[in-house]
Amino acid sequence: MTDDAPNQSATRRHLQQLSTIRFIALGCQLLALVFFSQVRPIGLPAGVLGGILAVYALIILLTWRRSFWQKAISEVEFFGHIVVDILFFSALLFYSGGGTNPFVFYYLVPISISAATLPRHFTLSAAVLSLTSYSLLLRFYVPIPALQPGHHGDQSGDLHIVGMWLNFCLSAALITYFVTRMSGELRAQEQATARHREDQLVDEQILGIATLAAGTAHELGTPLNTMKILVEELKTTEANDQVHDDIGLLERQIDQCRITLQQLVKTAGESTAEASVSEPVRSYFETLIERWQLLRPQVPLNAEITPSAPPVSARFHPSVSQALISLINNAADASPEKIRISVDWDHSQARLVITDHGAGVSPAIRQDNPRPFTSSKPDGMGLGLFLTKATLKRFGGEVSLQSKPQGTTTTVTLKFDP
């Protein structure tokens, strides 16, 4: 999504709200025309004004339909609609007293709408057009006797004062409604743009880390092969049972590192759809926990998978399991004497809760978007939690950390497609 997409979406909503304002103004104008031509006639050219309002109603309907087309709505087009409003309002005023009509101050409404939604040069153009129209209507217009200053026949002189009051109420209501809505949408648009730029920054950081990881994975292949050869030779030497057990553990650790590197290279060359296959959710988490216990057999683990969870299958990208193992490793590092894992799920998402009894984590690490290279471990690189959160977020997951004096609870909510 580009930065222009939120702007186009906002302009479309602006046009829809402008159509709503037009409908309200048209209804008020029709009521005024009926009242002052039928109930209390003041000499208005009802036929001409009715024709202008009929054309204006057709334009409003066409504009309303236009706001739902897929074609993008530019700022120039939106400004064109404001110009149309000013011209039609000027035509109405020309046949209803010109500058003596108390509703002349409705010119402030399109100016306010332009100021709230468009760049400055559009607003200046709307103001100049409105001021020019107002100035011309002070000299050129069809006079209405009841609206002329000083006219008091049949108490009609009060119409000007009443009309000014009604115009103020209508203009104030429309300006308040529109400007408030627009300012709220503009703030939401700015927040969406900021989040989009922040996500782009995170993606750039991840890309840089991924490039570094690819080179590192290639370099690690040689020392792992060397260690594998040495372990094979050590297995042939005479030693007590404890040493042979340690050698076996070391061999399994080396094999797991080689598998992880091979999976890293394989995953990097595949798309999300190709890299993930549907499998039972229960089997996925059981395998995940067994894999982690193979990596950290010395850490006591209390794992609980809800037996009543539904038997559903889902697709999980390989990166997700790596991210979850990273979170479990963090808990084991903080609390090597014991950690607890509980897993449950429904038909749309899974919930993994990891509890440790360590010293807790700092607020900088608990925040939603931790910075890379920030770690609470003396020998940590500060990449684990950053990459984990970014990975799970990319595949529909969320991570929250609650730190207490006696430990940290990490909750992972992972959405999946059955």
**Residue 232: its pLDDT value, please?**
78
Tell me 357's DSSP state: -
Q: What percent of the chain has pLDDT over 70?
A: 69
Whether residue 104 is found in the same domain as residue 239 = no
> What is the rounded end-to-end Cα distance, in angstroms, of the chain?
27
Whether residue 351 is found in the same domain as residue 233 = no
Domain finish residue from 243, 268, 293: 268
Q: How many domains does the chain have?
A: 3
Tell me which residue range forms the domain holding 379: 275-415
Exposed/middle/buried for residue 284 (C-beta within 10 Å: 0-12, 13-18, 19+): buried
Domain-located, residue 100: yes
Domain finish residue from 268, 290, 308: 268
**Got the DSSP string for 296-323?**
-TTS-EEEEE-TTS---EEE--HHHHHH
**Residue 182: its pLDDT value, please?**
63
Lowest mean pLDDT among 3-7, 60-64, 103-107, 181-185: 3-7
CB within 8 A of 42, min separation 6: which ones?
A: 36, 144, 145, 146, 147, 156, 159
Q: Among candidates 79, 105, 112, which has minimal Cα distance to 163?
A: 105
Does position 263 have pLDDT exceeding 80, yes or no? no
From edge to edge, which strands make up the β-sheet containing 301-305?
Answer: 301-305, 339-345, 349-356, 407-415, 397-404
Cα dihedral 135, 140, 144, 149 sign: positive
Helix 4-34 and helix 46-66, axial crossing angle in degrees, nearest 10: 160
Whether residue 246 is found in the same domain as residue 317 = no
Amino acid sitting at position 194: A
Domain finish residue from 164, 199, 234: 199
Residues 387/209, Cβ–Cβ less than 8 Å: yes
Whether residue 221 is found in the same domain as residue 334 = no
What average pLDDT does this structure show over 88-104? 87
3-state SS, one letter per residue, for 161-173? HHHHHHHHHHHHH
CB within 8 A of 29, min separation 6: which ones?
A: 53, 92
Q: How far apart are CA 387 and CA 208, in angstroms?
A: 12
Does position 151 have pLDDT exceeding 80, yes or no? no
The top-scoring range by mean pLDDT among 94-103, 348-357, 362-371, 388-397 is 348-357
What average pLDDT does this structure show over 389-405? 81
Q: How far apart are CA 416 and CA 396, in angstroms?
A: 7
Whether residue 138 is found in the same domain as residue 261 = no
Q: How far apart are CA 97 and CA 144, in angstroms?
A: 5
Whether residue 311 is found in the same domain as residue 353 = yes
**Residue 38: its pLDDT value, please?**
87
Domain-located, residue 168: yes
Amino acid sitting at position 136: L
Whether residue 241 is found in the same domain as residue 358 = no
Domain-located, residue 204: no
Q: Where are the alpha helices (DSSP H) in 335-370?
A: 363-366
Whether residue 134 is found in the same domain as residue 244 = no
Between 152 and 294, the more confident residue is 294
**Residue 90: its pLDDT value, please?**
93
Residues 375/381, Cβ–Cβ less than 8 Å: yes
Whether residue 138 is found in the same domain as residue 54 = yes
Does position 231 have pLDDT exceeding 90, yes or no? no
**Residue 176: its pLDDT value, please?**
65
Q: Tell me the Cα Rg of the chain.
A: 35
pTM score: 0.46
Whether residue 293 is found in the same domain as residue 339 = yes
- Own/partner pairs for 402-408, CB < 8 Å, 24+ apart? 402/366, 403/360, 403/361, 403/366, 404/360, 405/360, 406/357, 407/334, 407/335, 407/355, 407/356, 407/357, 407/358, 407/360, 408/331, 408/334, 408/355, 408/356, 408/358, 408/360, 408/361
156 confidence band (pLDDT: 50, 70, 90): very low
CB within 8 A of 15, min separation 6: which ones?
A: 63, 66, 67, 73, 78, 81
Q: Among candidates 103, 71, 72, 417, which has minimal Cα distance to 278?
A: 417
Whether residue 34 is found in the same domain as residue 100 = yes
Length of the chain: 418
Return the SS3 of 411: strand
**Residue 59: its pLDDT value, please?**
94
Q: What is the dihedral of CA 176, 182, 184, 188, to 10 degrees?
A: 180
Does position 270 have pLDDT exceeding 60, yes or no? no
Does position 49 have pLDDT exceeding 90, yes or no? yes
Residues 205/373, Cβ–Cβ less than 8 Å: no
Does position 381 have pLDDT exceeding 50, yes or no? no
Tabulate helix, strand, coil % of the chain (nearest 5): 65, 10, 25
57 confidence band (pLDDT: 50, 70, 90): very high
Q: How far apart are CA 60 and CA 41, in angstroms?
A: 28
Whether residue 261 is found in the same domain as residue 370 = no
153 confidence band (pLDDT: 50, 70, 90): very low
Domain-located, residue 206: no
